Structure 1
Amino acid sequence: MAATEFAPKHLLAAATAVATIATLGSLYLSLGLGLIPCELCWYQRILMYPLVVILGVSTLESRVEAFKMVLPLSVLGLGVAAYHSYIQLVPDFTAGCSFGPGATGCTSVQFKVAVFTVPNLSLIAFILITGLVAVAAVRR
């Protein structure tokens, strides 16, 4: 194995780290900062949270076959996050959505990290997870 190549287990570990950081970040935004997630944010959370457990167990047990469970969740999450990022860029595309009492629309930007909104960060996380797990599956 060349110095630039990573074993599938290392790729799964990296994907686990990304999913864990994304999950902890979303929990901090809602529980720590009191931001209310919109409906699309909830869908992204529903697709991200199980990835921490699936990828974590797969990493510990060196089960690259987990890609069969991970990729459907991560690709679907990637699609939702891409759509959410798009409607924030083009707010006239939709009237927005809301979820629960006091929720803001999906097109509103409640929080930014540098130039990235929360949906942009989610999109990056899903892209990384999908890519890392796909490469691990190919190298198995």
Structure 2
Amino acid sequence: MINFIKKYSLHMAWIIVLSGAVGSLYSSSVLHIEPCVLCWYQRIFLYPLAIIIPIGILRKDSSVYIYALPLSIAGAMVALYHYLLYIKIIPEVLAPCSANAVSCTQELPKLFGLLDILQMSLIAFILISILLILSKKIYGHK
């Protein structure tokens, strides 16, 4: 199982990226959940990964993590900040949302009653980062 994960770590990262990209577009276009400023920043870090990772897979580029990992880590940091705002650990005064924009702490629907969009985003960025690090190790980069 571990060897499978290592061998296909980039493929799995790409599946997570695609799921996140499709999910974010579905939530805003179909469910009409308007994204806040922090949601847009997370999308900015996620969407390029949908192009960078498959290029690395197709070219068998062992250094794709060099380009993808900073985006994934930055996305995870924004997602963590957003989630801490949402659960009120960081005061709402520090939210980057303006008075007439969508609130960064608005109530969000939960998937199967368990995970909301913010939790899924944070988990996705963390998993993508882990898989990119595994791909670095598997392809022999030091």
- Do the structures match in fold with TM over 0.5? yes
Residue in 2 aligned with 1:126?
Answer: 125
Instruction: Provide the identity percentage.
Output: 34
Q: Contact (CA 8 Å) 1:38, 1:97: kept in 2 or not?
A: no
Residue in 2 aligned with 1:29?
Answer: 27
Give, in whole Å, the separation in 2 of the partners of 1:111 and 1:65.
38
Instruction: Give secondary structure in 2 for the equivalent of 1:36.
Output: coil
Q: CA deviation at 1:64?
A: 2.4
Q: CA deviation at 1:8?
A: 5.2
Deviations 1:42-79 (A, max 9, x none): 00000000001101111122212110110110000000
The CA RMSD measured in Å over matched residues stands at: 2.0
Instruction: Map 1:1-140 to 2 at 5 A.
Output: 4-6=2-4, 10-90=8-88, 93-95=91-93, 96-98=95-97, 103-113=101-111, 114-140=113-139
Deviations 1:100-119 (A, max 9, x none): 96x42101123221221211
Instruction: Give secondary structure in 1 for the equivalent of 2:105.
Output: coil
- Worse overlay, 110-119 or 81-90: 110-119
Instruction: Give secondary structure in 2 for the equivalent of 1:45.
Output: helix
Q: CA deviation at 1:29?
A: 0.3
Cα distance change of structure 1 residues 16 and 100 upon mapping to structure 2, 3 Å threshold: farther
Cα distance change of structure 1 residues 59 and 8 upon mapping to structure 2, 3 Å threshold: farther
Give, in whole Å, the separation in 2 of the partners of 1:100 and 1:87.
16
- Worse overlay, 106-115 or 52-61: 106-115
- The amino acid that maps onto 2:45 is L
Q: Contact (CA 8 Å) 1:74, 1:129: kept in 2 or not?
A: yes
- Worse overlay, 36-45 or 109-118: 109-118
Count, aligned residues? 137
- The amino acid that maps onto 2:121 is S
Cα distance change of structure 1 residues 7 and 21 upon mapping to structure 2, 3 Å threshold: closer
Unaligned stretches of 5+ residues in structure 2? none
* TM-score scaled by length of structure 1: 0.88
Q: CA deviation at 1:4?
A: 3.1
